Amino acid sequence: TEAGAVPAAQRGSWTSFVKSIASFSGDLSSMTAPPFILSPISLTEFPAYWLERPELFAAIADGVDAEDRALRVLKWFISTLKGQYTSRNEKLGSEKKPLNPVLGELFYGTWPDKNGRGETKLLVEQVSHHPPITAYHITNTSKHLTLQGHNAQKTSFATGSIFVKQIGHAILTYQPPGKEAEKYLITLPKLRIDGIWYGAPYVELTDNGYIQSSTGYLASIEYKGKGYFSGKAHSIKAIFGPSNDATNPTVTVEGQWDTITKVTAANGAKHAKSGSVFTDVTSPKEEVTVAPLDQQGEWETRKLWEKVAAGIRGGDFEAASKDKTRIENEQRQRRRDEAAAGTPWQLKHFLHVDNDADYAALAGMFTGTGVIPTEDCYVFKSAAGSS
């Protein structure tokens, strides 16, 4: 049954939406979609998925040596995938179209200290509107851990699926006082969105990703869906070892990123045992704590989109669309005023740099081509020494 999940009254607009994405290249977030597929949550909230298992993040600092810590980074990373890529299906019934953040939109949150794991703080800023780019900075000071990164998406459409290439990366830094910083470059998987014709989109991950540590360990990650190496959806295989010895991995991790993965360890693997469970995300995760609406500033995402979100949640799409139009018009006016005054918008927490030295150094380690990659980057301002 085609378009089975689409409410009868929206079938026509869903069909034309699907047809329009098929012939569209660029920024999906700017397209008008029928109400049933709208999510009341802005993309600025998505970086919170990184910390929904705060104890696994904190545990990175408890690793006994560089190899142990690199494995703990991999474990934490794999454990975030379920939240990142399946939680809208669980909460909203299917993948939905998030609110498209405005330039300067902010999201702040925390995970409290519990059982000695320390408090973790999250700060997100929309650093570009066209194309949409979201930057984030996450810190657990007591564990000397910082995760900083940015995200953008490039979408294409083929054989009934939407393919989303993620542009951007994350860098995790572990810097205990008086010691040299340990850094990890994390690259992001490619998404394939299926179930579109039926009006019930869901994400599958494809292709590869890498976690390269400055201490010389590389995790090479392969993502596959149904019908590939295990035959199951949401499959993952990660090969971990010294990056200069890729043919001799010390640890292989295999399984489903939305349930359980297990270890196969070669002789010489110090911190993993063959047959043991590596990640298990079947237990509940911990959502970010956010200040109540009446304590939020006008640029904070839940305050900014309050009426739009209420409209979407309550089925009052007219009210939602009215306030969305107000926000968009205000943005356009702001851009015109800035252009006229010659004073462009100033980012609050981040600094745009053409290329980040950490990124170039770490990416250079695993590409092995001798070509130092460049990528537009956003660095946290206080870390860059300004403000």
Residues that bind ligand CLR (CB under 6 A): 28-29, 33, 37, 43, 46, 49, 84-85, 95, 97-98, 151, 153, 164, 166, 191, 193, 196, 201, 203
Between 203 and 362, name the residue whose CB sits nearer to ligand CLR.
Answer: 203
Cα 161 to Cα 20, 34, 200: the distances in Å are: 13, 18, 12
DSSP 367: H
Between 46 and 378, name the residue whose CB sits nearer to ligand CLR.
Answer: 46
Matching residue, tokens 């929904």:
52
Between 84 and 296, name the residue whose CB sits nearer to ligand CLR.
Answer: 84
Between 192 and 224, name the residue whose CB sits nearer to ligand CLR.
Answer: 192
Between 85 and 174, name the residue whose CB sits nearer to ligand CLR.
Answer: 85
Between 151 and 243, name the residue whose CB sits nearer to ligand CLR.
Answer: 151
Please answer whether residues 97 and 18 qualify as being in contact, where contact means their C-beta atoms are separated by less than 8 angstroms.
no
Neighbours of 102 (CB within 10 A): 20
To the nearest whole angstrom, how small is the minimum distance from the Cβ of residue 105 to ligand CLR?
Answer: 14
Between 132 and 249, name the residue whose CB sits nearer to ligand CLR.
Answer: 132
Tokens representing 148?
A: 């900083």
DSSP 52: S
Between 19 and 270, name the residue whose CB sits nearer to ligand CLR.
Answer: 19
Please answer whether residues 207 and 220 qualify as being in contact, where contact means their C-beta atoms are separated by less than 8 angstroms.
no
Q: 106-140 burial, b if ≥16 CB within 10 A, otherwise e?
A: bbbbebeeeeebbbbebbbbbbbbeebbbbbbbbb
Q: How far is CA 264 from the centre of its chain?
A: 28
Matching residue, tokens 């340990």:
182
To the nearest whole angstrom, how small is the minimum distance from the Cβ of residue 82 to ligand CLR?
Answer: 12
Nearest one of 9, 76, 3 to 280, comparing CA atoms: 76
- E strand or H helix that includes residue 173: strand 161-174
Nearest one of 189, 191, 150, 176 to 359, comparing CA atoms: 150
> Using N-to-C axis directions, what is the helix angle for 317-341 and 306-314, rounded to 10°?
160
